[in-house]
Amino acid sequence: MSISADELAAIRASFQRLLAERGTEADVRRAIASPEGYDAALWRGIGDLGLAGLIAPVADGGAGGGAVELELLMEDAGAALLCAPFLSSVVIAGGLVAGGDDAEDRARLLPRLISGAAVGAVALTGEAGLWTPQDITVRAAEGRLTGVASYVLFGAQADVLLAAAWDAEGPAVYEVAAGATGLTITPLKTFDLTQPMAKIAFEGVEARRIAGPEALARTLDLGRIALAGEQAGAARRIFEITLDYLRTRVQFGRPIGGFQAMKHMAADLLIEVENATSAARHAASAVAQGAPNAQVMVNLAAFACADAFSQTAATAVQMHGGIAFTWDHPAHLYLRRARADARLFGASDLYRDRYLAALEAVDA
Amino acid sequence: MRDEDLIAEVRAFLNTHWDAKKKRPKAGGGAKEFRHRVLEAGFAVPSWTAEWFGRNLAADQARLIEREFAAVAAYGAGQDKTNLFANTILAAGTDALKREVLQGLLTSEIDSCLLYSEPGAGSDLAAVRTRADRTADGWVVQGQKVWTSGARTAQYALLLARTDWDVPKHQGLSFFYMPMKQPGVDVRPLHQITGDSHFNEVFLDGAVVPEANLLGNENGGWKVLQTALAYERLVMGEGAGERRQGSGKDNRKSLIQMARSAGRLGDPVLRQKIAQALAYRQLNDLNLARAKAEMAQGTASPIMSLGKLAMSRILHGDAAVMADILGAASLLDGEENPESADMNYRALNAYMTSIGGGTDQIQRNIIAERVLGLPREIEVDRDLPFRDSRAVKG
């Protein structure tokens, strides 16, 4: 690890400052109504702070951070409902390019991703949206891709477009030019307003292989940790917003937080929020240390954080009552993000099963 | 003292006195003798002062000692964190009492029990009606207690009793360390839903508590009680409540193993339930680990207060999944059906954690008020002289 504890604290403080100044609820609302579909100014700010290079190797011009640093920053990103392609571009696309085999590809693509000048997107799943290798329907043959991918984060905004595609080795990673012939990118109307998605059809699109199955698997684990951190941070923030309301909203002559019905819901949510934070952070350190139970921890974090954020955001609406049924209240923005995040790399059921399989493997 | 010097000292001590392979004191030394050595070395309560068996160590260094002991499964260390009786007496006892009992408590030669709950004071513990009246010979106690584990063997009890009836309920309570082996203390086993008799009823009729055994101030008992309760909940949150009383049985038998031997580990519905049950347990462990790390750095952690509530869900959930794995066999019981009997026992015994030491509902109130800062419950008798409250008048 090349980032010291002091450096990490400074990086995190600068990110938090940026989010406090330019990632407010008003900024989120402006971003989701914008033609870009994300907060371009905030994304530039992230680039200016050098954060788009957080996990890129130092040799490639990045900061050399790993899972632990990434997870912590994602907690802040989640809390603010970050409307920028951090997960898509910095974590997945950047991770795949950095993990790729070819020095020329790295030299060509990484500087633009690290500076934030380019938005990276990666097509990872098919139209069934299961995020399993079997669900990848794109095939690579003779340097061309054919098939359909969907639910591609920032697919319509991408400058650097990658796709998981089957070749002789398994699911590998290919790069296609954003305006290539045979490529049809259709923006999707999504329930979550903060993360744009697209469907992408490949009809014999010229493509260049940049990474193999191992780099894909490794990067997806990093993506799961980043997402878990985002969920943990977002769950905590909507929980805090709810607590503030419980302390200040007066009915029947007293703050509603004084009623046991509310207290008991709040106490149960605190367990969920703390579970999510513990799961995300332990998964990050297990992967960073190459611990033997890393797969157990990554899969645990994947469903525990998804479920915690979903439950916290959903319950927060109920606890607020009528005010959270209005568009102007932020609770639904968290609920929408929670529901998208809970399926982004596959559903909780998938990860529960994989967690059990990983435990069986560790036990055996 | 440097960490590495401390670790070297602890390892040298354990090398000399503890057989790590056989997990017992080395030849020639019994458990009692070993506990005395641990105490003399200052490892029993390292964060306490030297005056009282400690070494004035900071919490993080004290934990190092614990870790070394745990690594070789040796006992006796880390009691500054877990021994609720010793901690309560250190915090609130008179010097005379400390001299009399602390050593015995820390070497496990003195057993103690808890005389808190009463038939009329369960969740509303401040409504106890057992009375203690001051006389020339000490405090004379009259009343009835319930849910007392270990009462038959205990030499002492932490006793909550009313010493002033003319003030509101929290303000008229005192806390005592009462000798149990005396006339006026009658212990009767309680038959529980599991079939066990782990708990007792304790009838107090003229039992005497020496003046030196008052903990804290007269009528200041509620505050001292909170210290003792916090230790109890901490220990329960780490899963102590699931150790089957009176047997060395390991209750953490793997659900995976159970499903595998039932030939049902491939059932996708069961897999989901097993994974979720194991996840709740692992998440609680991760929370505790994070809380300990945060506290070692000097940050107060709210997580420690969540453990008991989380453990309730874990224990009830484990038993429910086991019943699902066993299927129709879960209808059976008794020695000829050991897996079912074990599951049934767990299903019922889980209530010990979800009711004992404060019900889940009381725990949620406490978390909401003390951790989350939500407004306190309204108590209609809070400012009423106890004598005039419905606890007394009915």
At B373 the three-state DSSP class reads coil
b/e burial code for range A101-120 (CB count within 10 A of at least 16 → b): eeeebbeebbbbbbebebbb
Q: Are A310 and A342 in contact (CB under 8 A)?
A: yes
Q: Are A79 and A15 in contact (CB under 8 A)?
A: no
Q: What is the C-alpha to C-alpha distance for residues A35 and A195, in angstroms, rounded to an integer? A: 13
The three state secondary structure string of B79-128 is: HHHHCHHHHHHHHHCCHHHHHHHHHHHHCCCCCEEEECCECCECCCHHHC
What is the DSSP track for A93-111?
Answer: IHHHHHTSS-HHHHHHHHH
Calculate the CA dihedral of residues A165, A169, A175, A181 and round it to 10 degrees. Answer: -60
Please tell me the predicted confidence (pLDDT) of residue B250.
Answer: 44
Q: What is the C-alpha to C-alpha distance for residues A13 and A22, in angstroms, rounded to an integer? A: 14
Place of tokens 């996708």: B268
Between B240 and A290, the higher pLDDT residue: A290
Q: Are B248 and B289 in contact (CB under 8 A)?
A: no
Q: What is the C-alpha to C-alpha distance for residues A164 and B392, in angstroms, rounded to an integer? A: 74
Contact yes or no for B254 and A266 at CB 8 A: no
**CATH number for the domain formed by residue range(s) A215-363:** 1.20.140.10
Please tell me the predicted confidence (pLDDT) of residue A95.
Answer: 97
Reference B90, options B258, B228, B289; nearest CA is B228
The three state secondary structure string of A240-306 is: HHHHHHHHHCEECCEEHHHCHHHHHHHHHHHHHHHHHHHHHHHHHHHHHCCCCCHHHHHHHHHHHHH
- What φ, ψ does residue B157 adopt, rounded to 5°? -140, 145
Chain B residues with CB inside 8 Å of A278's CB? 283, 286-287, 289-290
Q: Are B357 and B308 in contact (CB under 8 A)?
A: yes
Query: What separation, in Å, do the N-terminal and C-terminal C-alpha atoms of chain A show?
Result: 31
Mean pLDDT of chain A: 96
Question: What's the gap between Cα B136 and its chain centre?
Answer: 34
The continuous run of DSSP H or E covering B11 comes out as helix B3-17
Place of tokens 């698997």: A217
Q: What is the C-alpha to C-alpha distance for residues B368 and B360, in angstroms, rounded to an integer? A: 12
Q: DSSP class of residue B375?
A: P
Calculate the CA dihedral of residues B256, B258, B262, B264 and round it to 10 degrees. Answer: -20
Give the pLDDT mean for A131-141. Answer: 95
The answer to whether the Cα torsion of A318, A321, A327, A329 is positive or negative is: negative
The greatest distance separating any two alpha carbons of chain A, rounded to the nearest whole angstrom, comes to: 73
Distance from CA of A322 to the nearest CA of B (A): 21
CA atoms within 13 A of residue B104's CA, in its CB half-sphere: 13
Contacts 24+ apart (CB under 8 A), A100-109: A100/A173, A100/A210, A100/A211, A100/A215, A101/A210, A101/A211, A101/A212, A101/A215, A102/A210, A105/A175, A105/A208, A105/A210, A106/A60, A109/A160, A109/A175, A109/A210
SS3 content of chain B, % helix, strand, coil (to 5): 50, 15, 35
Query: What separation, in Å, do the N-terminal and C-terminal C-alpha atoms of chain B show?
Result: 60
Q: Angle at CA A277, nearest 5°, toward A274 and A279?
A: 105
Does B359 contact chain A (CB < 8 Å)? no
Pairing mode, strands A120-123 and A160-167: parallel
CA distances (Å), origin A158, targets A144, A176, A179, B301? 19, 11, 10, 43
CB neighbours (10 Å) of residue B118?
A: 22
- Same fold: A120-211 with A215-363: no
Q: Are B37 and B91 in contact (CB under 8 A)?
A: no
Q: Are A146 and A137 in contact (CB under 8 A)?
A: no
Of all residues in chain A, the one with the smallest CA distance to B365 is A263
- What φ, ψ does residue B202 adopt, rounded to 5°? -125, 120
Look at phi and psi of residue B75 and say left if phi exceeds 0, alpha if psi is from -120 to 50, else beta. beta
Please tell me the predicted confidence (pLDDT) of residue B252.
Answer: 55
Q: What is the CA radius of gyration of chain B?
A: 23
Chain B residues with CB inside 8 Å of A240's CB? none
Reference B153, options B108, B206, B120, B116; nearest CA is B108
Confidence grade of residue A46 (pLDDT, cut at 50, 70, 90) = very high
**CATH number for the domain formed by residue range(s) A5-115:** 1.10.540.10
At B165 the three-state DSSP class reads coil
Q: What is the C-alpha to C-alpha distance for residues A224 and A299, in angstroms, rounded to an integer? A: 8
Q: DSSP class of residue A4?
A: -
Contact yes or no for A263 and B369 at CB 8 A: yes
Residues of A with CB under 8 A from a CB of B: 243, 246-247, 254-255, 257-258, 260, 262-264, 266-268, 270-271, 274-275, 277-279, 281-282, 300, 303-304, 349, 352-353, 355-356, 359-360, 363
What is the DSSP track for B168-223?
Answer: BGGGGEEEEEEE-SSTTEEEEE---TTS---EEEEEEEEEEE-GGGEESSTT-HHH
Q: What CATH superfamily classification does A120-211 receive? A: Butyryl-CoA Dehydrogenase, subunit A, domain 2 (2.40.110.10)
Q: Are B290 and B223 in contact (CB under 8 A)?
A: no
Q: What is the C-alpha to C-alpha distance for residues A334 and A341, in angstroms, rounded to an integer? A: 10
Give the pLDDT mean for A124-144. Answer: 96
Contact yes or no for B271 and A304 at CB 8 A: no
Domains of chain B: 3-82 (no CATH), 112-220 (2.40.110.10), 238-357 (no CATH)
Of all residues in chain B, the one with the smallest CA distance to A299 is B279
Reference A280, options A243, A257, A305; nearest CA is A305
Contact yes or no for A356 and B310 at CB 8 A: no
Residues 268-297 on B with a CB inside 8 Å of A are: 268, 271-272, 274-276, 278-279, 282-283, 286-287, 289-290
Contacts 24+ apart (CB under 8 A), A293-297: A293/A358, A293/A362, A294/A221, A295/A354, A295/A358, A295/A361, A296/A355, A296/A358, A296/A359, A296/A362
Cβ-Cβ pairs closer than 8 A, A with B, add up to 107
Distance from CA of A6 to the nearest CA of B (A): 16
Query: How confident is chain B (394 residues) per 10-residue block, as mean pLDDT?
Result: 94 95 86 94 96 93 92 93 93 97 97 96 94 97 96 97 97 98 97 92 98 97 90 70 40 81 96 97 94 75 82 96 96 95 95 90 94 92 92 89
Q: What amino acid occupies position A294?
A: A
> Domain coordinates of chain A in residue numbers?
5-115, 120-211, 215-363
Q: What is the C-alpha to C-alpha distance for residues B242 and B235, in angstroms, rounded to an integer? A: 11
Q: Are A238 and A331 in contact (CB under 8 A)?
A: yes
Reference B227, options B335, B42, B88, B118; nearest CA is B88
**Residue % of chain A over a pLDDT of 70:** 99
Reference B202, options B179, B184, B177; nearest CA is B184
b/e burial code for range B283-319 (CB count within 10 A of at least 16 → b): bbbbbbebbbeebbeeeebebbbbbbbbbbbbbbbbb
Q: DSSP class of residue B369?
A: I
